[in-house]
Amino acid sequence: MTVTWNAGLGAHIVTGFDEASAVLREPGWSSDPRRSPLAPPAARDLPLAALLFMDPPDHTRLRRLIAPAFTPRAVERIRPRVASIVDAALDTLEEAADLVADLGHLVPLAVIAELLDAGTDGAELFRAETPRLARMLEVGAGADDFAEAIDAFAAVTLFLVPLIDERRRHPGDDFISALLAVGELTVDEVLATTVLLLAAGHETTANLIGNGALALMRHPRQLPHLFTDPARSVEELLRHMGPVRLVGRVALTGHLLGGHPVRAGEQVLVRIDAADRDPRRFLDPDRLDLTRSGPSHLAFGGGAHFCLGAALARLEAQETLTRLFARFPAMTPETGTPRWRDSTTFRALTALPVRIAA
């Protein structure tokens, strides 16, 4: 069955691609954690000016204003700088390295710090606080998770508010200045958008790099295809072992999903990982094939909440993975049993120890 009721969780579980796509793309669903029957009261203290937690019409207005900063054309302009950041990170890798800590987390943090022109102090703060911020993105997060995220949000806010004020008075060629130039955004919206870039943007990209590297080491015969067509290869890595496992929605009205009734007010959990391996949509779905063409995946969601930073994550993954394996084609994992993080939302490695051989 592609939609089932889980009494223990108090939620409908969606595993089929068509049903998952309907939840993500069609109206009548809410992303606001305050509506979720699973969220603790602390959810009300989240930065709800963030796109991730908003519903139309507020979401529609804010996304329209922010989207120009994230278009593929806008992101493509920073590709040379991303390549330089990747090369600098690769220069520091030792023979025994951890690709999660030394590359997967490092590259997107450095890119974000540069996008914000936050300096060394900002980069160090983001590195310390981003893991705690990301806890607010866990589906079914408890009171402790929200408390950690809210505390991290406060720490980052203390750094960002003066920075936003300085960029208002002296605009630069950075992401915050671009948001302020829109004119229609409030300070809270600029702040929440920046925090969301830190939490969601860093987490998904770091996981994509780590998961992609693991998949490629497991399937070294696929490497020529990575170099021939990095963009297509990253799409298949997203489908095969994407960074997001689960997303939640609350029904605003009654729905029928795959013949399964969902009532207004009920929680739905969409299994992105299962939907992207639905054999009704993907031929031989468990096989990694970097030459695969055909239907699109849901690794970045869909519809109104399609990941705004998808183009940036794709670019960073393309540059990181191609440069990593071009420099270290004989790299191998230290263990055949990867260490996965305990997470409801993310498919994330806690570490990826490797042995590098040039």
Question: Is 352's pLDDT higher than 60?
Answer: yes
How sure is the predictor about 211, in pLDDT bands with cuts at 50, 70 and 90?
very high
Higher local confidence (pLDDT), 338 or 217: 217
Most confident of 121-130, 316-325, 343-352: 316-325
Residue 42: the pLDDT is: 66
Residue 224: the pLDDT is: 97
Beta strands in the chain, from DSSP E residues, in sequence order: 3-6, 11-14, 29-30, 96-98, 246-251, 255-257, 260-262, 267-271, 332-333, 339-340, 349-351, 353-355
CB 315 within 8 A of CB 79: yes
- The mean pLDDT of the chain is 91
Q: Where are the domains of the chain?
A: 3-355
What element of type H or E holds 162? helix 143-169
User: In this prediction, what percent of the chain has a pLDDT beyond 70?
Assistant: 97
Question: Is 358's pLDDT higher than 60?
Answer: no
Residue 23: the pLDDT is: 97
Place of tokens 């809410």: 30
CATH superfamily of 3-355: Cytochrome P450 (1.10.630.10)
Higher local confidence (pLDDT), 320 or 358: 320
Give the tens place of pLDDT for each residue, 265-303. 999 999 999 999 999 999 999 999 999 988 999 999 999
Place of tokens 């790299």: 331
Question: Is 223's pLDDT higher than 80?
Answer: yes
Q: How far apart are CA 184 and CA 164, in angstroms?
A: 15
How sure is the predictor about 12, in pLDDT bands with cuts at 50, 70 and 90?
very high
Section 159-168 average pLDDT: 94
pTM above 0.95, yes or no: no
Question: Is 84's pLDDT higher than 70?
Answer: yes
Q: How far apart are CA 22 and CA 124, in angstroms?
A: 40
Residue 192: the pLDDT is: 86
HSE of 272, CA atoms in CB hemisphere, 13 A: 26
Question: Is 67's pLDDT higher than 80?
Answer: yes
Q: Is 193 helix (H, G, I), strand (E, B) or coil?
A: helix
Phi first, then psi, for residue 291 (nearest 5°) are -95, 5
